[in-house]
Amino acid sequence: MEGLPHRLANRPLALHLGHAAGLATAWQASPAAALAMDDDRPSRAYGLIDGVAVIPVQGILMPGDFAYGSWATGYDWIRRGVAAAAAASDVRAIVLDVDSPGGTVTGCFDLADAIYAARGPKPIHAILGENAYSAAYAIASAADRITVPRTGGTGSIGVIWMHVDWSAALAEAGIKVTVVAFGARKADGHPEMPLAKEALARIQADIDTMGDLFVRTVARNRGLSADKVRETEAATFLGDDGVSIGLADAVMAPDAAFRALLAELG
């Protein structure tokens, strides 16, 4: 299993930074414990309640085929659950059980496209236990319907990449790092040196491209104009505020939203 720090470090993130505690939990997780959970995971990537497949979208989201309770879920796990539920004869509808601050850009939009493509034969509802921010919102937006509790949030439609410059601290500690590289841009972003203007411009261009993909994905999924989505400026919206601008369809407690879906199915 690839170490969790390597899944998250030095990568563009679609993650609400107000939820950094979840990121820290994933960062500090014991590999041995993670492998044990991986061995114990159920073979089916969804639960089944009255003909409704329930698929977790919980905690930090990243590439991989795993579901580690409330603190991390893999994009491949979600994809496998949606595909299996869509094909299963005993499944009448699909629920994405969402409570997440987001995660990596890598894998997020391909998954959102796959969920969007699965619309039609069976209802797909995103029922928010609390929040769907950033990458989690991209996934939730691909569903036919989104419900959010009064205290829950939607949005954070943006991408972030962080650079930490350790060069001054290293110099103060008497440590000198010499980087030998082939290619002028090979060492861009390394924390052992200041971020050059050229590197910053290139990275910003990449982040802008990913952000535009995020905007266009949500606009398509929710039937909104790209300009309206872009105007949110990656802000988050509580309950009714998210509904009023089209990021969610109704304010409902999760259990009420699930009962409403069962009543709709008959």
**Dist CA 251 CA 99 (whole Å):** 15
* pLDDT reported for residue 18: 61
Report pLDDT digits (tens) over 5-23.
545 555 677 777 665 445 5
Determine the pLDDT at residue 16: 73
- Tens of pLDDT, residue by residue over 106-146, are 999 999 999 999 999 999 999 999 999 999 999 999 999 99
Q: Is 151 helix (H, G, I), strand (E, B) or coil?
A: coil
Mean pLDDT of the chain: 87
Alpha-carbon span 89 to 75, nearest angstrom? 24
Of the pLDDT bands very low, low, confident and very high (cuts 50, 70, 90), residue 30 is very low
User: What would the mean pLDDT of 18-43 be, rounded to a whole number?
Assistant: 49
**High-pLDDT (> 70) share of the chain, %:** 86
Contacts of 74-79 with CB under 8 Å at 24 or more apart are 75/107, 75/108, 75/110, 75/111, 76/107, 77/45, 78/45, 78/111, 78/139, 79/111, 79/114
| Residue-number span of the structural domain to which 138 is assigned | 4-265
Mean pLDDT calculated for residue range 56-76:
91
Q: What is the pLDDT of residues 192-226, one digit of tens each?
A: 888 889 989 999 999 999 999 999 999 999 999 99
Residue 175, helix vs strand vs coil: coil
pLDDT in tens, 165-183: 888 888 889 998 888 888 8
Q: What is the mean pLDDT of residues 43-72?
A: 90
Residue 35 pLDDT exceeds 90: no
Q: Total domain count for the chain?
A: 1
Cα-flanking dihedrals φ and ψ of residue 157, to 5°? -85, 85
Question: Higher pLDDT residue, 151 or 169?
Answer: 151
Any alpha helices (H) in the chain, and if so which ranges?
Answer: 4-8, 20-28, 31-40, 75-87, 108-117, 135-141, 167-172, 197-222, 226-230, 240-244, 254-265
Respond yes or no: is residue 134 known to be catalytic.
yes
Q: Say yes or no to pLDDT of 38 above 50.
A: no
pLDDT at 260 over 80: yes
CATH number at residue 233: 3.90.226.10
pLDDT tier at 43 (50, 70, 90 boundaries)?
A: low
- Catalytic annotation, pick one of 100, 122, 134, 141: 134
pTM over 0.85: yes
Residue 239: pLDDT band with limits 50, 70, 90: very high
The predicted pLDDT at position 42 comes to 55
